[in-house]
Structure 1
């Protein structure tokens, strides 16, 4: 740049600066207070940074007072500072106050106004604080980045509703300019807005701070529910706001329940998917990945992200999307719903839509399991094999494994037991799924496994589900002292998607029943064999009436203990399971019925609330087995034999009496025992009383 151009640029810059200063000087002269003439009735007061003339109210005629008060009220209702209406708190503070504090703010009208005017206007003054709070919330939310979609939706909804209020203000101001607005008319027109803005204020305050979408929606719904039934117009207004604000969250719910897709970029939804992908479609899993454990762990539920008005539908919402994804993984075609989902506390139409979206995949899933995967046959297998209700199977299993039952578990070979089980199953001709039945050796007794189950510590390690042995808590089998008949257990390898219903939890419960029933059957078999073919070396047993009576008592008690579990408890409940599997409409009906039935079988059949009963039951059975061993031992002295029988008679009677005392105590306890448990105990007492 040459020197001429540089000088010209400097001159223009100086000229601009001087022009600006000149403009400021002239502006100060224009606004100079001393340049405005004064009269006796006028003074000047700074209002919001500007100077406005105020007249001595006391010297005004009433008509003039009324018009001036109307003007001041219109300004105040618009959030504009008024020279004659002032709060006892700072305006900026009102904008950030809680509702209780806003209610305590007092707006005072200049005492120069006529007392009747002031009394008429006083009731409408709370409107000012509520409007300031609502307006502040709307403006602050819109100007704050990352306010959240629900908070922004609330600000937009309140802004839209305030437009009617702004229209009213404009109308009143026009009427005021035309001198058609009296103080009475003004108060009448703004009176409905006092309650409306109070409610809007409460809605805005409920969304301030670090509130989640669920918390905001819950507060808004509570505000609606607290309104009086007689406030029809106000309830309608709040219903419209809630409908608008909840639409963002309800769209997430709709997408999940009707498509099985979670589109939740701001982490507002109460279900989180651990398999979130970049695309909105799911990728099919390999067969070994798609199992019950996978679906149990895939989704994380966060109840604090669910609005209270959706809590009663939480299970339906969750399972609707989950079952849609399960069907998708199973390559099942299904016509999906496309029904818009909104929340309106007045109509509650969302309830039926959500329930329909929940019913659709649940019904289809049950149908697929029944028609394509023969669910009812698998349930029948559990009944026949685990409850030993297939007599041919039960007798063949006891006979084929007879020589292994007495061995210690550390001497038993799982592969050999599996081979014997397979040989036993060959006698079953009409079961195409019998190969799913496997055997395993447990490393704890039934009472310990039951106790672990009760304390939510699984008796089996999930990692060992595919093997024929289980080493709970890492204890080596060599250290165990269980006999084969105590350690032997059945396992059912249900494949996906059957394992959605027949997974480890119900199978473990029915396995507990199977272990007890197998033990009782084994003891019965030993006693029956002794009765039918006594040892040739012992000639006293066939002649001793006392011995025969004791053996009959033992056999009768074992039979009745088994029948109590199977006939009194398990059988009627399994019939209910079969009925639901046949007539049920939804997969959750079957899952729930299976869980309830097995829980009742354990609680009522094994008295799971009293572990001592299970231990006593096995002790009683062991006394019977010891007696069988004693009776088969050759003896030369009849007196010694009779003394031995007397000892077993006393021991058996004492243990049976201790069981009866425990059951009797549970049957009579009304504080710690449920009604069905007391009834079950009374049934068992009737069965065992004859053998004490």
Structure 2
């Protein structure tokens, strides 16, 4: 026998067995992710000791024929026959697969009832219905322990897919991107736990019970995160997403302190970008909103030099009322109660900037934390600063209080002797048709009327000739609203839309107050037009009253005043009705409210207190004076006044005497006409009371009490107006 050949054959057989041993050992290493115990059994050379170790190791390993390679989610992992494993090996294998599954990695023995890819697009409710199952070949006690933690797999996939999709979306909003970042920050603890579990498993320091114990607290956390992620999918703008997240803890009834704190931290982080926009706007007056997420939008072109002062004709009330566009759908619900303060803070800062006013601005960091109110105080302070400063500028530099006093004195006819002097100086013009009146010729008469008045701003008062009566102006004002452009449009369309009324001067003459910027921010065109309605009605009532008094006492030259007891009684009833109509507007309604306005102006701490009080005062003067509910009532007053003026003309006629049948017949007709119109007015008041609020109903009752005694017959009783 060839000795060399025998030695070579023996060497090849040893090498074959060692190669097979090494191959199976490497497969075992791959399967166990590098089990350290295998290193002890690895052969280091030839000899009986090495062969003995190799033989023992082979006996401990499963046969090579029991291994198969199975495709799982695109990965090729070794799949063993679990039923042939000892319990300790089953436990380690299940721990490994659970760690994979909890990390979103497909595993051989933990699988969902549906395709893995479908879970990412499911709602939180549907994910809760997904059942992950452990291979039934594992021991029953292992499966019972693992089943409690299996829902964690679906929750993790949902959260992780939201993070990845958001980060990969090119047009994703800042709020949703912040939510994904907040999830990533909160999930870092979970990632660290996964790394620790994997290390412990490789070092044989982890059993299934410990795995369940460490993972179980994350079930509730990831369930909430998954629900938040699923709710945040879809086409939601930043404000809608913030509102949803803010309401989320209450909707889910989260009470566990740790979970509540996590959700609170997420919301605080997510709101940071939006609150930064709020901070810049409220504290600097600057809109930095490239993605159009904020509820205030500047209509000025983005390249406009906002720091440059506007021309006086552009910087007006209309400009500032139209410059900023509000988008309520971009406002988070948790800022709803501060919406006015947020909007006005930035607006007032820009108004002050246009007024060339300098002041020290706030620099307070602004954030939102659920359950806390720190942001409310900061927003309030941000609003108070410019609101107080604007009031200070208007009061000290532009004498706002004096201008408000002028509105009361001139438009409510409260300046002593003003209306009588104006009526006297304009007596001739008051009898002319309005088409023949020229404002430039009437203005000197107004100036002469005010020459003895020590008012510094009397030159702001102007005479205006209106092309419609007060009732028509009132109806047109409600129809068009009130902007300066609309005032010009109304003047253009009035000749086409309105009939030829042939107004006399006493019906067409009106007062106008010129309020320049920034005073026009408070005394804006709509408010001044409402005051003009009051002025026109009161001026007309004063004119009729004057006619019933002065002309009755001092008849015109060449006329003979015919006085009888019957005509005198009728004249007295007419006079008292005009006086009481005026007193209802001035004494009952306007005077007490204007006094309250004066007190508010004296004590006001910001501009909005003055503006709101002034608007309410003027509105109540019109509404409770019964001049805004319907223009029918205003028209009835002018018609009643015209009956009184016609009666004056009749009793001052040049021909006839006061004992003729024709005169008595005329007086009887005027009595009937006057009483008829008085009844109509009282019935109109009754109808208005039925369809009005308590304030208007009380005003109607007071006016009926004032007028009822001057009408000979009426079916309206004041007590009936209270029902």
Q: Given the two structures, how large is their TM-score scaled by the length of structure 2?
A: 0.85
Partners of 1:256 and 1:262 within 8 A in 2: yes
Q: What SS is found at the alignment partner of 1:391?
A: coil
Q: State the match for 2:217 in structure 1.
A: 192
Paired with 1:81 and 1:590, the residues of 2 have a C-alpha distance of: 69
Q: Which moved more, 1:68-77 or 1:370-379?
A: 68-77
Partners of 1:443 and 1:471 within 8 A in 2: no
Q: Does 1:453 align with 2:477?
A: yes
Paired with 2:115 and 2:477, the residues of 1 have a C-alpha distance of: 64
Q: In the alignment, which of 579, 595, 600 is matched to residue 575 of structure 1? A: 595
Deviation at 1:417, TM superposition (A): 1.7
Partners of 1:366 and 1:587 within 8 A in 2: yes
Q: What SS is found at the alignment partner of 1:455?
A: helix
Alignment CA distance shift 1:356-1:546 (3 Å): same
Q: Which moved more, 1:637-646 or 1:106-115?
A: 106-115
Q: State the match for 2:549 in structure 1.
A: 528
Q: State the match for 2:702 in structure 1.
A: 683
Deviation at 1:202, TM superposition (A): 3.0
Deviation at 1:303, TM superposition (A): 2.0
Q: State the match for 1:152 in structure 2.
A: 177
Q: Which moved more, 1:245-254 or 1:118-127?
A: 118-127
Paired with 1:482 and 1:108, the residues of 2 have a C-alpha distance of: 92
Paired with 1:249 and 1:147, the residues of 2 have a C-alpha distance of: 15
Deviations 1:503-527 (A, max 9, x none): 1011111111111111111110111
Instruction: Map 1:428-577 to 2 at 5 A.
Output: 428=453, 430-458=454-482, 464=488, 470-475=491-496, 479-534=500-555, 541-542=562-563, 544-577=564-597
Alignment CA distance shift 1:122-1:448 (3 Å): farther
Paired with 1:432 and 1:649, the residues of 2 have a C-alpha distance of: 47
Instruction: Map 1:8-27 to 2 at 5 A.
Output: none
Q: What SS is found at the alignment partner of 2:342?
A: helix
Paired with 1:682 and 1:182, the residues of 2 have a C-alpha distance of: 88
Q: What SS is found at the alignment partner of 2:692?
A: coil
Deviations 1:389-425 (A, max 9, x none): 0122111111111111122211211211222222212
Paired with 2:217 and 2:301, the residues of 1 have a C-alpha distance of: 49
Deviations 1:128-171 (A, max 9, x none): 11211211121222233232322222222211111100111122
Deviations 1:545-604 (A, max 9, x none): 111111111111111111111111111111122122111001011111111111111111
Paired with 1:460 and 1:351, the residues of 2 have a C-alpha distance of: 36
Q: Does 1:369 align with 2:394?
A: yes
Instruction: Map 1:77-226 to 2 at 5 A.
Output: 77-226=102-251
Paired with 1:392 and 1:470, the residues of 2 have a C-alpha distance of: 32
Q: In the alignment, which of 621, 625, 631 is matched to residue 645 of structure 2? A: 625
Structure 2 gap segments, 5+ residues each: 1-25, 28-60, 712-723
Paired with 1:115 and 1:642, the residues of 2 have a C-alpha distance of: 119
Paired with 1:589 and 1:258, the residues of 2 have a C-alpha distance of: 21
Partners of 1:538 and 1:631 within 8 A in 2: no
Q: What SS is found at the alignment partner of 2:313?
A: coil
Partners of 2:561 and 2:652 within 8 A in 1: no
Q: State the match for 1:26 in structure 2.
A: none
Q: State the match for 1:353 in structure 2.
A: 378
Instruction: Map 1:293-304 to 2 at 5 A.
Output: 293-304=318-329
Q: In the alignment, which of 582, 588, 592 is matched to residue 608 of structure 2? A: 588
Q: State the match for 1:16 in structure 2.
A: none
Q: State the match for 2:625 in structure 1.
A: 605
Structure 1 gap segments, 5+ residues each: 1-29
Q: What SS is found at the alignment partner of 1:165?
A: helix
Partners of 1:384 and 1:390 within 8 A in 2: yes
Alignment CA distance shift 1:294-1:279 (3 Å): closer
Deviations 1:35-92 (A, max 9, x none): x985576544222334333333445555544433332222111101122221122222
Deviation at 1:311, TM superposition (A): 2.1
Structure of larger gyration radius: 2
Paired with 2:501 and 2:641, the residues of 1 have a C-alpha distance of: 19
Q: State the match for 1:4 in structure 2.
A: none
Q: State the match for 2:686 in structure 1.
A: 664
Paired with 2:485 and 2:495, the residues of 1 have a C-alpha distance of: 9
Alignment CA distance shift 1:599-1:211 (3 Å): same
Partners of 1:386 and 1:511 within 8 A in 2: yes
Alignment CA distance shift 1:193-1:207 (3 Å): same
Q: State the match for 1:655 in structure 2.
A: 677
Deviations 1:337-385 (A, max 9, x none): 0001111113231111011000100001101111111100000000000
Q: Which moved more, 1:248-257 or 1:52-61?
A: 52-61
Alignment CA distance shift 1:675-1:85 (3 Å): same
What RMSD, in angstroms, separates the aligned Cα atoms of the two structures?
2.6
Partners of 2:552 and 2:561 within 8 A in 1: no
Paired with 1:689 and 1:139, the residues of 2 have a C-alpha distance of: 80
Q: What SS is found at the alignment partner of 1:368?
A: helix
Q: Does 1:339 align with 2:364?
A: yes
Q: In the alignment, which of 658, 663, 669 is matched to residue 641 of structure 1? A: 663
Q: Given the two structures, how large is their TM-score scaled by the length of structure 1?
A: 0.89
Q: State the match for 2:30 in structure 1.
A: none
Q: What SS is found at the alignment partner of 2:216?
A: helix
Deviations 1:293-323 (A, max 9, x none): 1211222222222222222212111111111
Alignment CA distance shift 1:123-1:687 (3 Å): farther
Paired with 1:436 and 1:66, the residues of 2 have a C-alpha distance of: 95
